[in-house]
Structure 1
């Protein structure tokens, strides 16, 4: 990284809330989140010089676009804030972060506010599924599927089973882990959920089929939610530290980042697959590039991961490309407890998308915020002991847009 970018703090809404039921709007929650974030980070609105927003489908779920304009309603000091919105399906929040970093690295501004936000629980499930369909190749992919994304990732399950003999029990262990981690997160959508014996099986009553090989508890959650983080240049972070009696070295910074795209079509991605190697070579490439930018050589040099488990097979696929073990063998690490809390590489201590929730545009921002919390010792009951470096992996569509960050001290 040529210029160091610091993370001054942020805030996440409670992903268990239903904004429609609470009679709260997208605009209300945008303002609430930024104000709470400013208070948490001990910043004044006047400190913010530029804003970036990650959001995928505001026009469809809420009939609202032009989300950068919401900053002007948060505080009079932000009335004329330069701001923009970014979209890359489920990776929209990460695109907003990358754009904010570029602004700061270019020297245009000193402090940026990055908001990720989505309202998704104000319509019935079938309608929500249709609103999320545009992240695939709509003219040719899964056109007859009732629920397009469970159908898509069911294909991924079948690919792993045919290529490597993946056992369904390994995927169910991922769900069990992430729902379990969510119990310790006060903002998790599923923190109060209870699972009777037999829930993580093929029991049609406790765990009904959704599409193909995907069942209810294999899935991430449809959520309403928002998150904000504040990024700063080294000069502004040093000012921030001095004014608050802190040391600059105690403020987390972004050590590495990665961003890669693959063709939007699932079949087009598979055409690039390595017959004896990685299913999605671009995913492994992103891990290597992100680690290299952080001056690291191996995934074991980070202390934890927050990854995009929109389905349990997605977490499995991401870990399979992380370099822990040769392709097709990451189940050995999962079965050995490596990815659990207390293991050598905890994954989704927050509960992930399965347990914490997945307001699409907020997820990338929320992941970075959790990285900040982990490495600054502020993650509370889901703290990874001794964490100094945490890596995120956020994807959009069928792994079309992928982005990663390593935050540490």
Structure 2
């Protein structure tokens, strides 16, 4: 059993380069703010894990675990590691920290994720992010690799089940609206017209194939941190702060699966199967099985909506609808705040922002906020159990967590 003692995230609307900040500056800011928010002293951290995808390409910086010792003299000597799994890097870092705690090796872990992506032109950023595709083998003719990949997924859903672009537009509209509730969301000040969510070439131009502007998650600078504890350390933390253990959140289940890196191989392997991405389905189901909860018991979901098609896929793979019938949850309002199965109350990646290495950690932090009732204007009333679904590449790596409260 792993407890979440709390955490912190940066304002995802901030452009670090314009503020004269580099990755070390934001790492220090995030860690210090997280320690203050949780009332933990740096000397109490026993191990540090970092989630990051491509700092070498965007910032020329590797060895990110070395930033811990820069922040506070008490962290000089801290054992650290960095983890990369494309957009699932943050969740893989959490998984490594959980293993440390569950093994008994350590009792208190700090997990921090960060990515700087707005310091280069948009096309350069797209090329850097393409490192998570099968380089030299797939999408070589695409200007923007990931919009092309998920345009192909839209086409695949259309081939297998049929898909209505209006449902994808509604996903975008919901997530941008949720983002306006979130004080850390990148797009909270953005404004749209009704045409922004339609196939209008002026209001919503094509990026690649069947992917339009508002279908896309945002290129973002951002960092997030959470502090994870063993039951023994969580009990000590609760006693020191004078709170009951049942006010703490915990990670009660996890699923972690990887598929071949080739998008075409995944599509070919699942041809004729019920689900397009069986390993995504498997990871989500295994997380709930380990937690001992059915999908009906999940109060909210934080899912990987790098594109609207990704969330459309996530809805049926989570089991909220039958395969190919995500449109039913969209039309009924089930995925909206106040609906039966709220999805991305934070705004997700489309509304909230997608600093790649930080995303999985931000999802877990938002799960913690929801189940402890501190999510503010995007709080799902009565939430006690949240499921995350974090995806790297073309579903090459999938991690799902169940965050709950007694």
Fold-level match, TM-score > 0.5?
yes
Name the CA distance, whole Å, in 1 between partners of 2:124 and 2:273. 40
Task: Write the deviation string for residues 305-349 of structure 1: whole angstroms up to 9, x where unpaired.
Answer: 000000000001011111122211121111100000100110000
| 2:78 maps to 1:75 | no
2:347 alignment counterpart: 351
Task: Write the deviation string for residues 73-123 of structure 1: whole angstroms up to 9, x where unpaired.
Answer: 111111111100000000000010000000011111110000000000000
1:399 alignment counterpart: 395
TM (norm. structure 1) is 0.98
TM (norm. structure 2) is 0.99
Contact preservation (8 Å) 1:91, 1:363:
yes
Name the CA distance, whole Å, in 1 between partners of 2:163 and 2:152. 13
Name the CA distance, whole Å, in 1 between partners of 2:184 and 2:193. 23
Q: How much has 1:279 moved relative to structure 2?
A: 1.1
1:90 alignment counterpart: 87
Name the CA distance, whole Å, in 1 between partners of 2:87 and 2:320. 25
Q: How much has 1:274 moved relative to structure 2?
A: 4.9
Task: Write the deviation string for residues 169-213 of structure 1: whole angstroms up to 9, x where unpaired.
Answer: 000000000000000000000000000231111222211110000
Name the CA distance, whole Å, in 1 between partners of 2:103 and 2:249. 20
| Structure 1 residue runs without a partner (length 5+) | none
Q: What secondary structure is seen at the aligned counterpart in 1 of 2:147?
A: helix
Q: How much has 1:276 moved relative to structure 2?
A: 4.9
Q: Which runs of 4+ in 1 moved over 2 A?
A: none
| 1:163-242 → structure 2 map (5 Å cutoff) | 163-242=160-239
Q: Alignment length, in residue pairs?
A: 405
Q: What secondary structure is seen at the aligned counterpart in 2 of 1:332?
A: helix
Task: Write the deviation string for residues 205-224 of structure 1: whole angstroms up to 9, x where unpaired.
Answer: 21111000011100000000
Contact preservation (8 Å) 1:86, 1:92:
yes
Contact preservation (8 Å) 1:393, 1:403:
yes
| Structure 2 residue runs without a partner (length 5+) | none
| 2:341 maps to 1:324 | no
Contact preservation (8 Å) 1:274, 1:281:
no
Name the CA distance, whole Å, in 2 between partners of 1:266 and 1:33. 35
Name the CA distance, whole Å, in 1 between partners of 2:370 and 2:320. 21
- Give the one of 270, 277, 280 matched to 1:273: 270
Name the CA distance, whole Å, in 2 between partners of 1:72 and 1:357. 28
